[in-house]
Amino acid sequence: MPQAPDAPLVARYARKRSEQGAYIFVVFLALMAFLAWREAEVKQIVIGMIGCGVLLAFIHFGQRRIQNAHGPQLIVDGTGMLMPEYFVHRVPWEAIARARILRQHERADLLVVDVPKAAIYGPREQKWDRKMREFADSTEFMIDIRDLDVSSLDIEAAIIRFAPGKASPPA
């Protein structure tokens, strides 16, 4: 069924896809730990297990972020973009200088939104991120879209449909 021309794009986390990738990574780590145990000394096994534990902690907290996320993570409509993980308030199209998809490794990994006066929309960023943005003199926010349930082509089409002057031409 075709989408209405004024229907907003609503993207949520694709929990199943993200969980499957994490499980494959955990199985790979377990296999590497087993192989290290068979060939290595005790000191090397302990170091390897500590490293695996740190990686598993990162995976666990990443999964909790995705599984506990409430509501949509990206809404693109005629009034602007709503990105609750990155901004407290909806960012109207007038405040967005440019929006584009950054493709890496034959996949769309990042949505790059240039918001010159981001402070009034309450960006949710850590002190480190804010300082790096100030140091680089950048107003771009890079938003990870790999775990969303819509494709990058859908996001690109929505940006072109609702704000054709804000979309960057494909590279």
Q: Is residue 10 part of a domain?
A: no
Which residue has better confidence, 144 or 168?
Answer: 144
pLDDT by residue (tens digit) across 83-101? Answer: 888 888 889 999 999 998 8
Q: Are 82 and 148 in a shared domain? A: yes
Whether the model clears a pTM of 0.95, i.e. scores above it, the answer is no
**75: which residues sit within 8 A by CB, 6+ positions away?**
8, 9, 10, 11, 81, 82
Q: Are 60 and 80 in a shared domain? A: no
Q: Is residue 5 part of a domain?
A: no
Cβ–Cβ < 8 Å for 76, 89: no
pLDDT by residue (tens digit) across 39-59? Answer: 767 777 777 778 777 877 777
Q: Is residue 3 part of a domain?
A: no
Q: Are 53 and 90 in a shared domain? A: no
Q: Residue 7 gets which letter from DSSP?
A: P
- Rounded Cα distance between 150 and 159, Å, is 13
- Rounded Cα distance between 74 and 80, Å, is 11
Q: Are 46 and 102 in a shared domain? A: no
Model pLDDT, residue 19: 64
Q: Which domain holds residue 137?
A: 74-162
In terms of DSSP bridges, do strands 98-104 and 91-92 run parallel, antiparallel, or are they unpaired? unpaired
Model pLDDT, residue 55: 76
- Quick check: 108 pLDDT over 70? no
Q: What's the total number of domains in the chain?
A: 2
Q: Are 104 and 148 in a shared domain? A: yes
Residue for token pair 């943005």 = 133
Model pLDDT, residue 18: 58
Cβ–Cβ < 8 Å for 83, 71: no
Q: Are 83 and 145 in a shared domain? A: yes
Q: Is residue 2 part of a domain?
A: no
- Quick check: 169 pLDDT over 70? no
Q: Are 85 and 38 in a shared domain? A: no
Q: Is residue 156 part of a domain?
A: yes
Q: Are 125 and 83 in a shared domain? A: yes
Q: Are 41 and 107 in a shared domain? A: no
Q: Is residue 152 part of a domain?
A: yes
E strands, the chain, in order: 9-11, 74-77, 80-82, 91-92, 98-104, 107-114, 140-144
Q: Is residue 169 part of a domain?
A: no
Model pLDDT, residue 84: 85
Q: Tell me the mean pLDDT in the region 79-83.
A: 90
- Tell me the average pLDDT of the chain: 78
Q: Are 42 and 119 in a shared domain? A: no
Q: Are 85 and 158 in a shared domain? A: yes
Q: Is residue 1 part of a domain?
A: no
Q: Are 79 and 113 in a shared domain? A: yes
Model pLDDT, residue 1: 45
